[in-house]
A and B are shown apart, each in its own frame.
Chain A
Amino acid sequence: MKSFVDKETVAPDGEHPAELPLTVHDLTVSYNQKPVIWDVELNIPEGSLVGIVGPNGAGKSTLIKACLNLIPANSGKIEIYGKSYQENRQLVGYVPQRESVDWDFPVSALDVVAMGTYRQLGWFKRVGKKQKQQAMEALDRVGISHLAKRQISQLSGGQQQRVFLARALAQDAMLYFMDEPFSAVDAATEEAIIVLLKELRSRGRTCLVVHHDLATVSKYFDHLVMLNMRVVAAGPTDEVFTEENLRATYGGKLSVLDAAAEALKNVKHV
Chain B
Amino acid sequence: MFDLSASDLWDVLSLQKHNTRLVVLSATLLGASCGAMGSFLLLRKRSLMGDALAHATLPGIGMVFLVATLLGLDGKSLPLLLAGASVTGILGMGLVLMIRKTTRLKDDAAMGIVLSVFFGIGVAILGIAQNTGGAAAGLESFIYGKTASMVKADFWLIAIVSVLVCLTARLFLKELMILCFDDAYARSQGWPVLFLDLVLISLVTAVTIVGLQAVGLILIIAFLITPAAAARFWTQNLVKMLIMASLIGAVSGWLGASLSALLPRLPAGAVIVLVGSAIFLVSMFFGSERGVIRRYLKQRRLNKRVGRQHVLRAAFEILEDSTDSDDVANHLVEWSKLQAHRSWSEKKLKTLVRWCKADDAVEDAIEPGHIQLSEKGFAEASRVTRNHRLWELYLIRYADIAPSHVDRDADMVEHVLGVDLVKQLETELSEDLRLPKSPHTIEIEGEGGAQ
Q: Taking beta carbons and an 8 Å cutoff, which residues of A are in contact with B? A: 32, 65, 68-70, 86, 89-90, 92, 94, 96, 100-102, 105-108, 111-112, 115, 118-119, 121, 123-127, 151, 153, 167, 171
Contact = CB atoms under 8 A, between A and B. Distances in A.
A115 B180 contact: no
Closest 10 CB pairs of A and B: A151-B236, A94-B188, A68-B188, A119-B189, A101-B182, A89-B190, A106-B238, A106-B236, A105-B181, A106-B241
Contact of B174 (A105, A126, A151, A167): A126
Residue from the set B181, B188, B237 with the largest chain A CB neighbour count within 10 Å: B188
A94 B172 CA distance: 23
A111 B181 CA distance: 11
A145 B168 CA distance: 33
Interface in B199-229: none
Interface of B: 43, 45, 104, 171-175, 177-178, 180-182, 184-185, 187-191, 232, 235-238, 240-241
Contacts of A111: 177, 238
A119 B191 contact: yes
Residue from the set A69, A89, A90, A101 with the largest chain B CB neighbour count within 10 Å: A101
B174 A118 contact: yes
Contacts of B182: 96, 100-101, 115
B236 A70 contact: no
Nearest to B173: A126
B188 A92 contact: yes
A95 to B, nearest CB: 9
8 contacts: A68-B187, A68-B188, A70-B187, A86-B190, A102-B45, A107-B177, A107-B237, A171-B189
Nearest to B39: A106
B238 A107 contact: yes
Given A107-B237, A108-B237, A89 B184 contact: no
B176 to A, nearest CB: 11
B185 A94 contact: yes
B188 A70 contact: yes
A115 B188 contact: no
Contact of A107 (B173, B181, B184, B187): B181
A32 B103 CA distance: 10
Contacts of B240: 106
Contacts of A167: 185
A123 B175 contact: yes
Residue from the set B45, B171, B190, B241 with the largest chain A CB neighbour count within 10 Å: B190
Residue from the set A32, A69, A118, A151 with the largest chain B CB neighbour count within 10 Å: A118
A145 to B, nearest CB: 14
A249 to B, nearest CB: 26
Nearest to A101: B182
B412 to A, nearest CB: 15
Contact of A89 (B171, B180, B181, B189): B189
Given A106-B237, A111-B238, A119 B190 contact: yes
A32 B104 CA distance: 9
Nearest to B171: A124
Contacts of A69: 187-188
